[in-house]
Structure 1
Amino acid sequence: MAYDWTALGREIRNSRIAQGMTQDDLAAAARVSRASLQNLERGAVRTRVPTSLRAVTDALGWAPTAALSILQPDADIKVAPQPQEPTSAFDLPLRVQQELHDGPLLDSTVIDLSDSGARMVVVVKGKSDATPEELRQALLAWVKAQQVLDTLGESAAG
């Protein structure tokens, strides 16, 4: 059975635009190259389903079978490409959500920026494939950075 790459590309583009994302935003959220995303949106005919497709549809919040239902409209799969309900209580950009999801949590802090209550939230994450030594080095770098951030918070609040 032939896949309808043009229809899939149109749906990806429409969904991206409806969510207020640029190609760069979606490519970053999906962790694929912009060229891969452009090929998908353009409906470039392929001999196999690219691995980037799942990353893009996940970043758009589509149901797992949505892309296949578009690629094979005559198949017995009837799932519309509607974004799934967010799993987070926070309305964060997709890029931030992805960063929060990937890698081990090393530390976090909240820095008061002013008497008006403005705050900065810092979350420190390690690489997902980091060795124990790399994580130790990352924590040491964070301790130095935290000292600088603390002085910024003190001067902003003071």
Structure 2
Amino acid sequence: MSRDWVRLGHAIEAARDAKGMTQVALAAAAGVSESTVQNLEAGKERQRQPPSVKKVEAALHWAPGSADAVLAGGEPTPAELEAGRAPHGDGTAGLPLRIVQELSDGPLLDTTVLPLSGDSRMVIVVKGTPDASPDQIRRDLIAWAKAQAVLQNLDHGDGHSDTAN
């Protein structure tokens, strides 16, 4: 049976694009090099399936065996998602899917951790609009600075926060 590596390359690229991921982001999520992702997307013919294919398959949230299905002319199968939470192994394990989607869209602008009562804390991730102009990013950061000032003035235990850019 013939394997269609070009078809697999197109499927990987389409899935990556649909998730708003760059090749660098997919490589990081899969634990492979950017050149590995580039080679897979280029559809380079291979005699054997490299181990990196399974890693990319998992990073794209495809069910095990999806790459084999695509190579044989089929379609990838989305991984089973338990209770509406992200699959394990991609750095978002256990997060609700709507949060995973929000984290994947747009540039990261800032993060902060605000203490609540006891050992509880609130984690805030500020994302910008995908393809935002520098002016829009500046406006977003100004809006975030105002919101952050309000949040830090609320009664959150000892009132301290840890901000990282």
TM-score, with structure 1 as normaliser = 0.55
- Matched ranges for 1:9-158 at <5 A: 9-73=9-73, 80-87=75-82, 95-97=90-92, 111-112=114-115, 119-120=122-123, 153=160
**2:14 maps to 1:7:** no
Partner of 1:76: none
Q: How far 1:16 moved relative to its partner?
A: 0.6
Structure 2: stretches of 5+ with no match in the other structure = 96-112, 125-157
Counterpart CA distance in 2 for 1:155 and 1:51 is 39
Instruction: State the SS of the aligned residue for 1:37.
Output: helix
Superposition RMSD in Å? 3.4
1:29 aligned counterpart, secondary structure = helix
Work out whether residues 115 and 122 of structure 2, in 8 Å CA contact, stay in contact via their aligned partners in 1. yes
Cα separation, 2, equivalents of 1:154 and 1:15: 37
Q: Identity over the aligned pairs, expressed in percent? A: 39
Offset of residue 96 of structure 1: 2.7
Gaps of 5+ in 1: 74-78, 101-109, 122-150
Q: Distance in 1 between matches of 2:77 and 2:161?
A: 45
Is residue 16–residue 60 contact of structure 1 (8 Å, CA) maintained in 2? yes
Letter of the 1:153 counterpart: H
User: How many pairs are equivalent?
Assistant: 108
1:99-118, Cα deviation, whole Å (9 max, x unpaired) = x9xxxxxxxxx7428xxxx8
Render the CA deviation track for 1:73-92: whole Å, top value 9, x for unaligned.
Answer: 2xxxxx63143243475569
Aligned-partner residue type, residue 28 of structure 2: A
Amino acid at match of 1:24: V
Higher helix residue share: 1
The separation in 2 between residues aligned to 1:152 and 1:33, in whole angstroms, is 42
